[in-house]
Amino acid sequence: MTERDESDEEKLLEAVALQNATSIFLARQRAEQELIRIREALEAKTAALAESLERAEALLQERDRARAEADAARRAAQAANDAKGRLLNVISHELRTPLGAIGGYAALLDEGIRGPLTDGQREYIERIRHSQNHILRLVNELLDLAKIESGQFVLRVGTVPVQSVLEAVHPMIEPQARASDLRLETVLDDPTLAFQADRERVEQIMLNLLSNAVKFTPAGGVVRVTAAPVPDAVSLQVQDTGVGIPEGKLDAVFEPFVQLEPSQPRGRGTGLGLAISRELARVMHGDLTVESARGQGSTFTLRLPRAPSGP
């Protein structure tokens, strides 16, 4: 090999070495850039994770605060219910006793035990009795509502023939209807229909519904009771041709102490009758609803479970 060939070979080796060195340098440079990118990505993910952990911790703290507040609210509500129950028991005892005495003394005076009475005196005694009954009814309704809300209401559930309920309440409401010049109608196509319910409470609901219908129906109108079977239940409707209820206030009639017609000439109620009636229907696994429009009368529908058929 000549000196020239050796020189060319050395130059070639140097060129290859230089090329390899350049490739290695570029590869290292790319690797370093990739490492920088990966590190920056990891730092960003770490920051995002830390932020997420902070948000999660804040949410957990908020949840714990909300839970503590809810527990405190439940305890306060329970304490309020207990206090209300104690108060109502006191009211029941402290009001029922003197109310009973008022009624007793009024009856004794009416019997003439203190001498004969004038017509004016008998009228005042009748007013005393009416006021006594009104307050006693309010006390009883307050107690019923409190027992329902506290879950302490006791039911005596059994088979209740619809016909027997209507026969029981008709004599109690018929004098009011007659005095108001109203026609009282009953439609019962199937006399074998029966509820699975508490008879006393069903009669209480019906009396409330019929009393309201009579109170808010002008003279010459009609109050109609209709009973019919529906799937797994019995529907009992009380329909009147009275003043009706504005559409926007249909739900309000079931709220305690709400009186939509406080100036009604036939007397004011306690504002509890419909509220208690719906609660009673619901604790008996039924419901009480209303359909009405101003000037077109009202239809209240009591739906209760149907009693099982006989063997």
- DSSP string of 25-87? HHHHHHHHHHHHHHHHHHHHHHHHHHHHHHHHHHHHHHHHHHHHHHHHHHHHHHHHHHHHHHH
pLDDT tens-digit map of 71-120: 888 888 778 777 776 776 777 677 777 888 888 888 888 888 888 888 88
In this prediction, residue 3 has a pLDDT band, given cuts at 50, 70 and 90, of low
Q: State the DSSP H helix or E strand holding residue 190, giving kind and residue range, or none if neither.
A: none
- pTM of the model as a whole: 0.63
Supply the angle between the helices 199-215 and 273-283 in degrees, to the nearest 10: 150
Handedness of CA 294, 298, 302, 303 (dihedral sign): negative
Does position 134 have pLDDT exceeding 90, yes or no?
Answer: no
CA–CA distance, 150 with 125 (Å, rounded to integer): 38
Closest CA to 303 of 184, 162, 167: 162
Q: What is the mean pLDDT of residues 306-310?
A: 74
- From residue 137, give the alpha-carbon distance in Å to each of 6, 107, 144, 161, 243: 128, 18, 10, 26, 25
How many Cβ atoms sit within 10 Å of the Cβ of residue 33?
10
Does position 260 have pLDDT exceeding 90, yes or no?
Answer: no
Q: State the DSSP H helix or E strand holding residue 268, giving kind and residue range, or none if neither.
A: none
Enumerate the H helices of the chain as residue ranges.
3-110, 119-150, 162-179, 199-215, 273-283
Tokens of 103: 């009624």
Tokens of 90: 């006191």
Taking a C-beta distance cutoff of 8 angstroms, is the pair 182, 191 a contact? no
Handedness of CA 114, 119, 120, 125 (dihedral sign): positive
CA–CA distance, 233 with 196 (Å, rounded to integer): 9
pLDDT tens-digit map of 207-257: 989 988 998 899 989 999 999 998 889 999 999 988 888 777 777 777 776
Within 8 A by CB and 6+ apart from 281, the residues are 205, 287, 288, 302, 303, 304
CA–CA distance, 169 with 277 (Å, rounded to integer): 15
Closest CA to 195 of 295, 307, 33, 115: 307
Higher pLDDT, 138 or 231: 231
Does position 266 have pLDDT exceeding 50, yes or no?
Answer: no
